[in-house]
Amino acid sequence: MVQGKLNEQAKGVFIIAATPFTDEGALDLYSIDSLTDFYLGCGVHGFTLLGMMGEAHKLTAEESLTVVTRVIARAQGRQVIVGASHAGLENVRRLAHEAMVAGAAGVMVAPPQGLKGDDGVYNYYAQVFKELGPDIPVVYQDYPQTTGVYLAPSVFERLVDDFKQLVMLKHEDAPGLAKLTRVREGEKKPGRRRVSILVGNGGLYYPQEMQRGADGAMTGFAWPEMLVQVYDLFAAGKSSEAEDLFDLYLPLVRHEQQPSIGLALRKEVLFRRGAIRSPKQRVPGSSLTATDRAELDSLTARLERRLAAAGRPSRIAAE
């Protein structure tokens, strides 16, 4: 499938894809396909593979490449971003090259733990960019809750000024609304490029972030059609309607973004919606109790009632 390279104009919803396993823990190729189809059916504009949510750290190198190749082949030309973070720069380069050769649109790199100070962050990415060269588009994954590395807006600006292959910020600091606004204001400086900003944190602040200048979402919420519909409504200038729709789903957005248990919830929903054949995670992973399932039943039933009452049955359910 031909897909162009990622650039600063990237917009919309890049779903962070779960990685499906069989009940025995093997990579489930069939479910990779059905999940890709599910996401396409939800209208996503692109994919992000091998992120933290994708259990990338539990895959072998071969399995990782299998996932990437398989999704790209089935993505109907949608752009695919592949996570290439690694503690060693040689491995970042290798992962990035493998992904690009397989047809990825770009790679996403988070900083390794232990970088010190603004210069530590700048210098690490300068090394990454030199190593990868100008032809591989890169997404900066700003997720300090896990990496422990703070990205100052001024550092991001220096990187944008100095390396044109930096085309997107995956925005996931918390609190992060002020940073998003600050980056957008900094871009008004003559000569500075405006980069794409997609937001994470499970979408918890999605409407606020769109108002502040985000270009869409990159997260793994298990009702991706909401992410798409909210994006479309914002694109159509209907921000109030967008937020109304978002708020209908907010109880589940909040529920899924719980650390650690969140992935179990998302895989369970994807399983219930028929997108994958098993909700299993590879160990060590979280799992759901009977209480957790009943709670999810209740939240889901509430969502469906509210969607129906609002005249907004989910696109999927309607099929």
Q: Which tokens belong to 253?
A: 């957005």
- Shortest Cβ 237–its own copies spacing (Å): 16
Binding stretches for its own copies (CB under 8 A): 25, 55, 57-61, 86-91, 94, 112, 114, 116-120, 124, 127, 131, 150-152, 154-155, 174-175, 177-178, 181, 204-205, 208, 211-212, 243, 247, 250-251, 254-255, 258-262, 282-284, 289, 291-292, 295, 302
Closer by beta carbon to its own copies, 133 or else 274: 133
Q: Which is nearer to its own copies, 9 or 154 (CB)?
A: 154
Minimum gap (Å) between residue 177 Cβ and its own copies = 7
Closest distance to its own copies from the beta carbon of 271 (Å): 20
Output the smallest distance, CB 244 to its own copies, in A: 8
- Of 74 and 243, the one with the shorter C-beta distance to its own copies is 243
Minimum CB distance to its own copies smaller for 90 or for 319: 90
Residue 174 CA to residue 143 CA, distance in Å, equals 8
Task: Name the region of 136 (left: φ>0; alpha: ψ -120 to 50; beta: rest).
Answer: beta
- State which residue, 57 or 193, has the beta carbon closest to its own copies: 57
Q: Going by C-beta distance under 8 Å and a sequence separation of 6 or more, which residues neighbour residue 245?
A: 226, 229, 230, 233, 310, 312
| CB-nearer residue toward its own copies: 69 or 181 | 181
User: Which residue's CB is nearer to its own copies, number 7 or number 181?
Assistant: 181
CB of 103 to its own copies, least distance (A): 21
Smaller CB distance to its own copies: residue 1 or 61? 61
Min dist CB 248 to its own copies, Å, is: 9
Shortest spacing between CB 14 and its own copies, in angstroms: 23
Taking the complex as a whole, how short is the minimal distance between the CB of residue 247 and its own copies, in angstroms? Answer: 6
